[in-house]
Structure 1
Amino acid sequence: MKALIDIAENWFQRQGWKPFPFQKKTWKAFLQGKHGLLNAATGSGKTYALWIPIVLNYTRENPEYKVNKTKGIKAIWITPLRALSVEIQQAAQRFADDLETGLTVGIRTGDTSQSERARQKRNMPDLLITTPESLMLLLASKGYEKMFTTLTAVVVDEWHELLGSKRGVQLELGLSRLKAICPKLRIWGISATIGNLEQAQDVLLGKDDSFRANSVLIRSSKKNKIVVRSIIPKKMENFPWRGHLGLHLLDAVIPIIKKSKTTLIYTNTRGQCEIWFQKILEKYPEFAGEIAMHHGSIAKDTRLWVEQAIRNESLSAVVATSSLDLGVDFAPVETIIQIGGPKGIAKFVQRAGRSNHRPDEASVIYFLPTHALELIEASALKRAVKHEIMEDRIPYLLAFDVLIQYLVTLAVSDGFYPKKIYSEIKQTFCFQDITEEQWRWCLNFITIGSQSLQAYDEYKRVEVKPNGLFKVESRRTAMMHRLSIGTIVSDTMLTVKFVGGGFIGTIEEWFIGKLKPGDTFVFAGRTLELVRLRQMVAQVRRSVKKSANIVSFMGGRMTLSSQMSEILREELQSEAEHKKKTPELKALSSLFERQEMESIVPGEHEFLIETFKTREGHHSLFYPFEGRYVHEAMSSLIAYRLSLLHPITFSIAYNDYGFELLSDQPLDIQQLIDNNLFSSEYLFDDLQKSLNATELARRKFRDIAVISGLVFQGYPNRIVKTKHLQSNSQLLFDVFRDYEPENLLYLQSFRETFEHQLEEGRLRIALNRIMKQEIIWKKCKKPTPFSFPIITDRLREKLSSEKLKDRISRMKLQLEK
C-alpha cells in the first residue's frame, strides 16, 4: 500500500502541491477496503481525496492496466446538482491521464444528449459523474446488473444536501440495490459540516452491520477561516420593513465589486436575483458585459458560459442564487456578498467557502441586510461561524411514495422478486422499521392499485409472473414511468423562447398565466414582451418599454433553521441585558431605544406580547423568534384556542420573528395566560382543527401522488398543467379519505404536513420553552419597531408595491413623530 500512496504523493509533488492529512487518511482507508464519510469544506481538495485511491485500487487489481485496460464502469460519482462540475471531470481525467491508466470520465444527467447516452450505453465510462435521478434511470434499463458488475466504488458528493430530502431516500434505495449486485463495492460520502455527522454516515451506509463495522468517519482538520463583514447603512431605519430587497445599499456594493477581481453576489430567490442584476446595470451602465446572472431557470448554455467566465475571471461580478452553491467548482472568487438573511448557518458557510480557495487565506463574506432587523441575523451568524454551530439534517422515515416509485423502476427493467428486495430495503435507514403488512400493501398498490382503485386498469402497473417475478410488460407504462423518475416536484415550467426560436430559459406557469399578450416582463436580465402562449411555450420579443413585472418564482420565502433561531434569540438577549455590543447591535441602538420606549427587548427568561389599537383594529403581537413555519402553525393554534374561550375572528400575519392576531375587539392577554393556551397538551388534535390540516395535507398529497406515479405529469412538450395535476390528485385524496382511510400514501400526506411543513417537533419545543418563561404583556400606544415588519407584510397581500411604499412612508412619518 505504501508504494501506491507514494505514487499519489509524487504526483502531488509534480503539481507543486502537498497532500493534506485528511486526503492521505482517506487514501489509506479506501485502499484498506473501508467505507466512510469524509467531512471536508468546499474547495479543500476532496475530489482528489477519493478519486486518487479509486484509480490506485484499479492499478493494483489490474497490474497490466497499461496494455490491457478492462472495460466497464469502475466508479460512480453522485452529485446533487445538474450544474455539474466540469472541474470534477477535468480533475479526475487529469490524474487518470498522468498515470497513463487509459481510464475515461463521463457525465450523465438530465442535460446529457440522447446520442451521448446511447454512446455511454454501448461503452460506459470508467468513472460516471451523475445525479440520483440519472442513477435511477440506469436501474430502470434492461440488463443493469451486467452494466454494474465491474463497479467498485460509489462516491456521494455533498451528502448533506441530499440527506433530509426525498432525493436522499431515493439514493438510499439505489445504494441498497448496488450493494446487493456489486460484491466489491465501497461506499463513500463527502459532506460539509452538519450537526449530525455520525447520523449522516449511518443513513448513507444503511443498517447493514458488515458495512458499518468496516467504516470510518474522517474529519478534515483544515478549517476554512471565515471573515464576516456587515454592510451597515449610514442611516438606520427605526421602523424596518421587508420590501426594498436591500437595494438602498446598492451604492455600498459597487466599491466592493470594483476592488475585487471577481465577486459573487448571492440572493435568496430568483426574483431577487433578476432585480439586483437589473438595478446594478440601470444605475451603473459601465458594468455592461462585466456582470452576469446565474440561476436555475436560465438556459444551460448561458449558465455554463457564466461558470467558465468565473473560472477565467473575465467577469467582475455574478448575481446568483443557490444554483452556484454546490456542484460548480471554479478558481478562487475573491469576494462573496450575501444579500438578506440566508436563514441557515450551513448555507451561509457554504457560500462563504466559495471565496479564496487558497491555503491559509480567510474566506471573506459581506452581509447586506435587506432591512434593519436582519443585522441581528448578521451578528448571530458571526457567532455561529466563530463557534462552529451547525444545523442537523433530519432524515426521512418511511417515505412510501419513493419506495413505490423505486419498485416500479425495478419492475420496468429486469423485474424483481419481493423477498430479495424486502431484505435489501430493510437495511436502509429510511425503511428499517417497515412492517411486512406495509410491504404487502406497497406490492398490492403497484399490482392492483390499492383497495379502492382495483376497478381501474391504469393503476395495475406491474404484473406478477407465475414464477413470482414482478415485472412491467406494458411499453406505455414503462415509458411513462421513465419520464416520471425523480422526487423533485415543482410547478409546471414553461419554456421561454424568442419568436425567432432562440431559447432563453424556463418560467413557472403561475407567473406567465397572469400576463396577456403585449405585457412586458423582465427575465434573464432582458425586458421581454409576451407575444403568444402556445403548447407550453411562451413566445416573446425584446422590448424597450420599462416593465414593473420582474419574474418571481414560488418558494421565495424560506424559514429560519432551529439553530439559527436559537442564536438569534441569544443575540437579542445579550442586547436586552446590555452585555454585548457587536458592531451590528451597536448600529441598531436607535431602533432598540425606540423599541424600549414603547415596549421592551425581551431577555432570556421573557416572552413578549404587545397589544395596541389602530384604525385597522386591535393588534396582538407575539415574538417567539422561531421562523415563519413555526409561527404559521403557532398563530393558527393560539387563534383556535382563543376562539374556544369566546367567539372571535382573527386576521393572521407572521414572519421569522413573530406573528400578529388582528381582530375587531380587544384581546384579553391575561385570559390567554391564565388558561395555559401555550401548552403543548393536545397539540396534534388542536393543530388539525386550527389549520384545516386536511386542506394542507391535500396540497401535500399532490407531490406524493406524482412521486408514487398515481398522477402522470405529462410527456415532454405536453406537460399537464398544475391546476389539472392538483385536481387529479385531489380527486384521489378524497377517494382515499372516504373509502380507504388506512391508505399509506393518504396517511403519509398528513405525517409530512405535520413533520416537515408545520415542524410540529419544533413547535412543541417552542411551546414548552414559552411555558417556562415569564410572559411580559406590553399595552402599547402605537406600533413598535419589532411589530412593524409583521404589519407591513400583511398589507403587502392587499396593496400593489407602489401603493404599499406610499402607505408605509405615511405610517413611518406618523410613528416617528
Structure 2
Amino acid sequence: MNNKELFKIAENWFSEQNWKPFPFQKHTWKAFLQGKNGLLNAPTGSGKTYALWFPIILSYIKENPEYKTKHKSGLKAIWITPLRALSVEIKQAAEKLASDLGTQLTVGIRSGDTSASERARQKKKMPDLLITTPESLQLLLATKDYSKIFANCNAIVVDEWHELLGTKRGVQMELALSRLKTINPKVLIWGISATIGNLELAQEVLLGTYQNTLKNSVLIKASINKKITVKSIIPEKIETYPWRGHMGLHLIDEVAQIIRNSRTTLIFTNTRSQCELWFQTLLDKYPEFAGDMAMHHGSIARETRTWVENAIRNEDLKVVVCTSSLDLGVDFAPVETIVQVGGPKGVARFLQRAGRSGHQPGKESVIYFLATHAMELIEASALKKAAANTIVEDRVPYLDSYDVLIQYLNTLAVSDGFFPADIFKEVKTTFCYQNLTPEKWQWILNFITQGSQSLQHYDEYKKVEIEENGLFKINSRKIAMQHRMQIGTIVGDAVLHVKFLKGSYIGSIEEWFISKLERGDTFIFAGKKLEFFAIKDMKVLVRKANIKKAAKTVSWMGGRMTFSAQMSQLLREELYLLEKNINSIEAKALQPIFIRQKKESIVPNSNQFLIETFKTREGFHAVFYPFEGRFVHEALASVLSYRISLLSPITFSLAYNDYGFELLSDQEIDIQAVLDNDLFSTSYIHDDLQKSLNATEMARRKFRDIAVISGLVFTGMPGKPIKTKHLQSGSQLLFEVFRDYEPENLLLKQAYIETFEHQMEEGRLIQALERIATQDIILKNCGKPTPFSFPIITDRLREKLSSETLADRIAKMTASYLRE
C-alpha cells in the first residue's frame, strides 16, 4: 500500500467524523511515513493527537498488508505524557483509531496508577501501543531483558515537550531516547509542543545528534489562528493605594456572575492555598453552587481528581476551582470560560490555561483576568498583546545534570548491566551531556562503584559491581529494590496522607504544615472543614469539624512563583505605554493610581530607573523598581544591601515582589553616595551574590534534591517515608563531607551551579544590571509611600500579621496617606 492509499484511509476516517484534516496534520503524516523525525508545534485543542497516532497506525498497516486477519503482538510505539491524568484520553483516541481502521492493535497504559496485576500482564505480553510517563519508561529500562521489549518499537512520541524541556524529567527523556535509539536505530522520535518560544532548540534537545537523527528531521508549525479573547475584570472602585494579600476575593460577585452566564467555568489560581480559599469563599457566599462546584489540585486524592475530570467532560459541574493540575492537554469540550485569578507570571502558562476553553479546532477561547491588586492590570494589558501576537517564553534546557546521569546508570546496572564505553558514546549524543569529558565520566563510574573519594570506606555507597568481562552490574537485591522505588527526578517535601478516622483517603499535606497542629485544631482541606486527631503510621487522622469553628487554610511550601523573563519585559513595555495611552480599559482603570503616583513621585519611562525614598514610623525606606520578577529582586536586594553595608555599617530588612524591592533601615541611607560608588556594577557580582545570600546554605538545601535523585540518600519504603528533617540532616552531612574533603566532587559543584543559575537566576540578574546601566537613575525623595511602593510594603506586613489585622492596618495607612 503506497502513501497515497494510506492518506485516503485517513481522509475517509475524518470524513466519517464530519471533520476535515488540517494541513499540519497531513504534513505530519507525510513526514512520518517518509521516515523523518520531528517536532510538531500546534495550539492546544487543534488535533495534535490525531496528527501522530494516525501515521503510527498507517505505518503499521503499510508494513502488514494482512493486518485485518493476521496480527503479530509486541510493543510498536510509545506515547510519553508528562501527566498521568492525560493517559486515559490519549488511550481512548488510539483505541478508536485502531478499531475504526480495522486493526487488531492493542493499547495500554503504564504509569504510577497502573495496578500490579496489569503490570504483571504487560510483563508477559506488552500492548502494541503504550502510553506512559518518563518515570515509568525508566522503570521499564530497569527490567531484565528490556532490550527485547523495545526491539520492535518503531516510534516514540513525547507529548507536551515544552513541559519537560528545562526540567530534569526532560533530561531523563534525553537519556532514555539515547538508549532506545541504540536498541532500534530505525525508531522515529517525535515531539509535540504547544507554547514555546525557542522551537529550533527544543527540537535539537529532543532529537540529539545520534546517527544524524537531527539532520533527518522536520519542524512543523501549524498555521492555525486560534482566537483567544482576554477580558479584564475591572472593579467599580480602584484602590489608589493598591495592596496584595486579599487574593482577589473583593471581586467574587463579578466571578459569580461569570459562572452563572457560562456552561462550565474553570477558575485557575496560582497556588493550592489560594485554590482552597476561593472554593470555600464561593461556597460560603453562594451556597446555591453546592453540588455544581468542585476543586482540583495536585494534593487531592487521585480518585477525586479523576471524578472531577469526568464530571467536567459530562457537564455535571458548572464551576471548578483549580491550579496548574488542569493546565495540560485534557480535552474539556464543555468548558466555555476560564477565570485567571492573579498574574500567571508567564505568557505560556496563561495561553495554556486560556486554551482549556474552546478546546476544539476553530473554537474561541475566552479567559477573564482577575487582578488581585490594581497593579496587576498592567499584566492583564500585557498578556492581551502577548495572546494577540503569540509571544511565548523560551525554555532553557539543563546541562551536565550529573545526578540524573548517576540515577540512569544505576537503572541500567539494575537490569542487564552496561559496558561503560558503549553507554559513554550514547550519553554524549544527548544535548545535556554533549560536553561530558572522559575524566568526568570516569569520576561518575568511580562514584557508582566506589562511592567517590571521600565515601570509599562505606560499603553502602558501593552500589555497582564490575564483573570479569567489564560489565557494570548491581547484584544486591536490596540496592536494586531501593533504586527502583526511588526512580524519578521530582523531589518535594515529605507528604502525609490525610484520611478520616473511619473512612476514606482525602489527599496529602506536607509534613511541615501538620507539624504545627495540635489535637483538636481545625483546618480546611479539599473543600472540607477537618479537625486534626492524630498522626498514626505516617497518616494524618481527621474527623469532620464543627462548621462554626474557626479554621486555618492549608498552605504549601514553595507556592510563590516569579515572572518569566518574557513576562518581565512585556510588563515594562506595557507600563511605559499605559501611562500615555488611555484607550484600553486597563489604562483607564489605572489612571487614579498613575495620577497619585505622579503627585508623589513619577511613572518611569523606558529610559528611566526609579528609586524612591521616604520615612515612616517603621524607619527609612528605599524602594527600587527593576520590574524583573520576584526571584531577581530577592537576589538584587541582597547584593545591594551587602554593597551598601561595605560602605558604612548598616542593617536592612528586605521586601520584594515582582515589580520592585525595598531596603528598610533604622538609619537614613545616602543613596546618591552609594550610587556614586558603582552600586549597580556587574563587577564581582558572583562573589557578592555568594556572600550576601549565604549561597552555601542555599546550595546545601539544593544538594538535598541532588542527593535524592543520585541515590545518595534513600527516601524510605512505601507508607514509611523518612521524615524531612532526617532526610535533610543526612544530605547535609554528606554536603559537609564533600565540601571539606572533596571540593571537586561533581555533585557538590552541581549544587552550587543550580543555586546560582536556576534559583538566583544569576544570568537574568546580570542582564538587569546591564539594562539599568543604560538608564537614567531618577532618585525621588518622597514625603510618604507611593502607590507603586504600597504593594511591596504590605507584602512585608503580611508576613507578620493575620489577614484581619493586616486589612485593618492597611485601611488606616491608606486613610492617613490620602488625608495627607
Please tell me the TM-score bracket, short chain as reference: over 0.9
- The Cα of 1:580 is off from its aligned counterpart by 5.1
- Of 182, 185, 198 in structure 2, the residue corresponding to residue 183 of structure 1 is 185
Amino acid at match of 1:620: A
How far did 1:113 drift?
Answer: 1.1
State which of 560, 563, 566 in structure 2 corresponds to 1:563. Answer: 566
1:125: how far off? 1.0
| Contact 1:575-1:601 within 8 A present in 2 as well | no
Q: Which amino acid aligns with 1:250?
A: I
The amino acid that maps onto 1:714 is G
Letter in 2 for 1:148: F
2:709 to 698, 707, 721: 707
Residue 430 of structure 1: CA displacement?
0.1
Residue number among 643, 659, 662 corresponding to 1:660 in the alignment: 662
Q: Distance in 2 between matches of 1:555 and 1:637?
A: 22
Would you say 1:467 and 2:469 are equivalent positions? yes
Q: What's 2:139 paired with?
A: 137
- Counterpart in the other structure of 2:808: 806
Contact 2:87 / 2:109 at 8 angstroms: preserved in 1? no
Q: CA deviation at 1:259?
A: 1.2
Which secondary structure state, in structure 1, belongs to the residue aligned with residue 214 of structure 2?
helix
**SS of equivalent to 2:52:** helix
Q: Distance in 2 between matches of 1:535 and 1:788?
A: 47
Query: Quick one: distance in 2 between partners of 1:633 and 1:278?
Result: 36
Q: Give the CA deviation at 1:108.
A: 1.0
Give 1:131 shift: 0.7
Tell me the residue number matched to 1:16: 18
Q: 2:195, 2:352 within 8 Å by CA — same for their partners in 1? A: no
Q: Which residue of 2 aligns with 1:455?
A: 457
Pick one of 685, 688, 711 that aligns with 2:687: 685
Shift of 1:120: 1.3
2:95 matched residue in structure 1 = 93
What does 1:139-218 align with in structure 2 at a 5 Å threshold?
Answer: 139-218=141-220
Amino acid at match of 1:422: F
Alignment-derived partner of residue 576 in structure 2: 573
Question: Among 388, 397, 400, which residue is 1:398 paired with?
Answer: 400
TM-superposition CA deviations, 1:499-528 (whole Å, max 9, x none) = 113111111111111111111110111001
Q: Distance in 2 between matches of 1:643 and 1:10?
A: 74
Note if contact 1:678-1:770 (Cα within 8 Å) is conserved in structure 2. yes
Q: Distance in 1 between matches of 2:114 and 2:698?
A: 37
For residues 416-471 of structure 1, the C-alpha deviation after alignment (integer angstroms, 9 at most, x for no partner) is: 00000000000000000011110001101100000000010100000000100000
Equivalent pair of 1:79/1:327 in contact (CA under 8 Å): no
Whether the 8 Å CA contact 1:207–1:432 is kept in 2: the answer is no
Asked if the contact 2:532–2:543 (Cα under 8 Å) also holds between the matched residues in 1, the reply is yes
Matched, 1:547 2:558: no
Q: Give per-residue Cα distances to partners, 1:577-616, cap 9 Å, x unaligned.
A: x145421121011011111111111100000000001111
Instruction: Give CA-to-partner distance per residue, 1:484-508, whole Å, 9 cap, x none.
Output: 1000000001000111131111111
Aligned-pair distance for 1:361? 3.1
Which sits farther off after the overlay, 246-255 or 203-212? 203-212
Structure 2: runs of 5 or more not aligned: none
Q: Deviations over 1:706-743 (max 9, x none)?
A: 10001111111110111111111111000000000000
Q: Counterpart of 1:361?
A: 363
Structure 1 contact 85–327 (Cα < 8 Å) conserved: no
Deviation at 1:147, TM superposition (A): 0.7
Say yes or no: does 1:68 pair with 2:53: no
Q: Which amino acid aligns with 1:23?
A: Q
Q: Could you say what secondary structure the match of 2:492 adopts? A: coil
What amino acid does structure 2 have at the position aligned with 1:163?
L
What's the offset of the Cα at 1:387?
1.8
Indicate the SS of the match to 1:84: helix
Distance in 1 between the 2:639 and 2:339 partners? 38
- Secondary structure in structure 1 of the residue aligned to 2:5: helix
CA distance in structure 2 between the aligned counterparts of 1:393 and 1:793, rounded to whole angstroms: 29
When the two structures are superposed, what TM-score results if normalisation uses the length of structure 1?
0.99
Query: Any idea what SS the aligned residue of 1:389 has?
Result: coil
Corresponding residue number in structure 2 for 1:445? 447
Partner secondary structure for residue 815 of structure 2: helix
SS in structure 2 at match of 1:529? strand
2:620 partner SS: strand
Q: Does structure 2 retain, via aligned residues, the 8 Å contact 1:411–1:471? A: yes
Give the letter for the 1:290 counterpart: D
Secondary structure of 2:244's aligned partner: coil
Match of 1:237 in 2: 239
Q: CA deviation at 1:47?
A: 0.6
Aligned counterpart in structure 1 of residue 503 of structure 2, from 498, 501, 510: 501
Match of 1:107 among 100, 106, 109: 109
Residue 305 of structure 2 is aligned with which of 274, 279, 303? 303
2:645 paired residue number:
643
Please give the alpha-carbon distance, in whole angstroms, between the structure 2 residues aligned to 1:533 and 1:701.
29
1:169 and 1:317 map into 2 onto residues whose CA distance is 37
Deviations 1:146-180 (A, max 9, x none): 11111010000000000000000011001100000
1:358 Cα deviation from its structure 2 partner: 3.8
Amino acid paired to 2:372: T
User: For each residue in 1:230-275, what CA deviation from the matched residue of structure 2 results, as whole angstroms up to 9, or x when unmatched?
Assistant: 0000010111111110000000011111111111111111111111
Q: Which amino acid aligns with 2:165?
A: L
Amino acid in the other structure paired with 2:280? Q
Note if contact 1:266-1:339 (Cα within 8 Å) is conserved in structure 2: yes
Q: Is contact 1:83-1:327 (8 Å) kept?
A: no
| 1:802 to partner: Cα distance | 2.3
Give me the whole-angstrom Cα distance separating, in 1, the residues matched to 2:400 and 2:360. Answer: 43
CA distance in 2, matches of 1:547, 1:20: 55
Corresponding position of 1:248 = 250
Which of 657, 672, 675 is matched with 1:673 structurally?
Answer: 675
Per-residue Cα deviation, 1:26-46 (whole angstroms, up to 9, x for no partner): 000000000000001111111
Spell out the pairing of 1:655-804 with structure 2 (5 A cutoff).
Answer: 655-804=657-806
* 1:777 alignment partner, SS class: strand
Secondary structure at the counterpart of residue 370 of structure 1: coil
Alpha-carbon distance in 1 for matches of 2:179, 2:31:
24
* Amino acid of the structure 2 residue aligned with 1:360: G
Q: 1:84 to 1:193 in 2, by over 3 A?
A: closer
Q: 3-state SS of the aligned residue for 2:213?
A: helix
Aligned to 2:523: 521
Residues 321-351 of structure 1 deviation map (CA, whole Å, 9 limit, x = unaligned): 1100114222241111100000000000011
Q: What is the CA distance between 1:123 and its match in structure 2?
A: 1.3
1:467 is aligned with what amino acid? N
**Which one is further off, 671-680 or 162-171?**
671-680
What residue identity is the alignment partner of 1:106? G
* Number of corresponding residues: 816
| Shift in Å, 1:208 | 2.3
Sequence identity percentage: 69
- 1:338–1:709 CA distance, 2 compared to 1 (3 A): same
**Distance in 1 between the 2:578 and 2:403 partners?**
47
Once the 2 structures are TM-superposed, how far is the Cα of residue 625 of structure 1 from its aligned partner? 0.3
Aligned partner of 2:560: which letter? R
Compare 67-76 and 336-345 and name the one that shifted more.
67-76
How far is the alpha carbon of 1:85 from its aligned partner?
A: 3.9
Preserved CA contact (<8 Å) 1:69 1:102: yes
Among candidates 115, 122, 125, match of residue 123 of structure 1: 125
Which digits, 9 at most, give the CA deviation of each residue in 1:739-797, with x for residues without a partner? 00000000000000010001001000000000110000000011111111111111122
Letter in 2 for 1:813: A
Contact conserved, 1:496 with 1:504, CA < 8 A, in 2?
yes
Partner deviation per Cα, 1:688-710 (whole Å, 9 max, x = no partner): 11111111111111101110001
Q: Which amino acid aligns with 2:669?
A: L
Return the letter of the residue paired with 1:114. A
In the alignment, which residue of structure 1 is the partner of 2:384?
A: 382
3-state DSSP of counterpart to 1:229: strand
Structure 2 residue 483 is matched with structure 1 residue 481:
yes
